[in-house]
Chains A and B, each alone.
Chain A
């Protein structure tokens, strides 16, 4: 039975020494075997029945040797991979022990975690929640070490069984070197599978327990399992998703051609009534538009990735509309990471490009705030379209309507998983900010009701914070509401008619009725870092406009300079309320 105590004793160097011996044997086997294979006599040299029998035996022997060589080739490859896979396991055990030492836990020989402060108070600088989290993390690390270790051992045993049963090679290469190479190629110890329904922390620990070769193999050969796996490093996810993209595109293109072909078979031309086939015609047309939008989404993702300094963190075509998340900067290592969730009518094909530009500007703003504050911390941001944002034609669909919270709840769950994944993959300290616009703020609120590593949040143009009681770790939830933005009011009919009591609509409490939420300005502003005047945002769609006060405030929060934010003043509240008398303001800044 493989446990931590056994894995501790595993020796990569002994495996490597064995591999080296097998390799020498293989070299000798292939060299002698190839010589033998080439010696086969021709008819000109010897013909007749005896010759025929002799050369048949020769061929049979070569085939036999071919399979043996393929088997030893597979063993050599398997041992190489197993030897590579051991150091990450030991590293993970060491990290678990180190974490234990930091938080007062001891990792026993067999991986049991004991509390060194059992029955007594731990030092005051050790927060109980941090200790509990550390203990959990230690246990998860060790659990994944054992899981990966067992898999390495089992796979290697399997290589020997298959090699012994001559299951590698087909005995038809005609020379042993080719067979050995084929056997090595056929064998792939490095395809361990992720934990089933693994949490982001489990996925992260699993990934950390793999060798570089195992990871590369997974990215190249199983990208579908890696690309959207929360807890894996951004670069790994991105590489996997970029591998998937062309295949997804080709598959969608085939689907589109097939649908168009089916459509053409329906009697009646464009614009004509298709009689009894009308329903089928409409259905196919809808499907064609759906697939076409997915292809366009992939094109937009490709274009966005070409901007550089991006990571493709999510790419999911399994739902009606494509879902994607694109990171800017070092999402795994930046000191500050902001994750932005857009709202109503958002699609990857229609919205990713613009929001990515908004996030690039936001990161730039954050960098300039840091610079002016003499702060050398780094910033990264993610445009997260990882849910099916409601669309205009879905208003009557109770599961997708912008007037209901169903889509936000599902989005919130996805978002929480994503945020936890970013947290689990991150190395070094991180300050995380969740940004949510419009219906995306409702999804964000729903997400923040789950346990996430988010420290601050900004909900802007919000029709409601959702019903999941959003909370953050140590920081604040802020809101922004621009002049002429009817959406926050539309989410709260009671507010529009100035009804008494706490205003709340179908999408949860109004951010203004939540006493835990601070309200930031989206009007004119004098930036506290002396970089000049910022502009107001008008209507529902200008919050992220470059050089606006609303954007500046988000950048101040995102860069962990909350002291720079400009609160909304009572005068601004009055002006904003007065702005509702001028409906044309909802369309944005007057030009």
Chain B
């Protein structure tokens, strides 16, 4: 590591907060209620079952959680960084960086 880095702490903090908030709101989206109406609207059909079993019903809230987690991670990184002297060393890297792919 040890190469020059740019860090604007306030931007990281803002990013973390806003991403966490957006992720939180997305994770609260509930598709199951709307999906449940399809079977009632089209009795006898296969669309009702397809709607209730649609992977998006779970995938969207899960995605919201993943977005919120991204905010958490950047927030944690920023906090850790702030506790250290602000030099030209990328302390965040020294901490092992972010868990890539998480």
Contacts and interface: CB of A to CB of B under 8 A. Distances in A.
A153 interface: yes
A50 B50 contact: no
A2 B22 CA distance: 42
A21 B37 contact: yes
**Closest CB pairs A-B (n = 4):** A6-B44, A153-B45, A164-B55, A14-B41
Given A21-B33, A35-B18, A160 B47 contact: yes
Contacts, number: 180
- Most chain B CB inside 10 Å of its own CB: which residue of A49, A154, A158: A49
Contacts of B77: 50, 54
A270 interface: no
Determine chain A's interface SS by DSSP, over half rule: helix
A12 B54 CA distance: 21
Contacts of B5: 46-48, 51
A25 B29 contact: yes
A3 B44 contact: yes
A50 B78 CA distance: 11
B46 A153 contact: yes
Contacts of B40: 11, 14
Interface residues of B, number: 57
12 contacts: A29-B29, A33-B26, A46-B5, A47-B7, A48-B3, A54-B97, A60-B101, A65-B26, A68-B60, A79-B38, A153-B45, A157-B49
- Most chain A CB inside 10 Å of its own CB: which residue of B8, B41, B64, B77: B41
A14 B43 CA distance: 11
Nearest to A37: B22
Nearest to B18: A39
Interface of B: 1, 3, 5-8, 11-12, 15, 18-19, 22-23, 25-26, 29-31, 33-35, 37-38, 40-47, 49-51, 53-56, 59-60, 63-64, 66-67, 70, 73-74, 77, 90, 92-93, 95, 97-98, 100-102
Interface residues of A, number: 60
A164 to B, nearest CB: 4
A178 B5 CA distance: 34
A359 interface: no
A79 B39 CA distance: 12
Contacts of A48: 1, 3, 5-7, 90, 92-93
Contacts of B8: 44-46
A535 interface: no
A29 B7 CA distance: 30
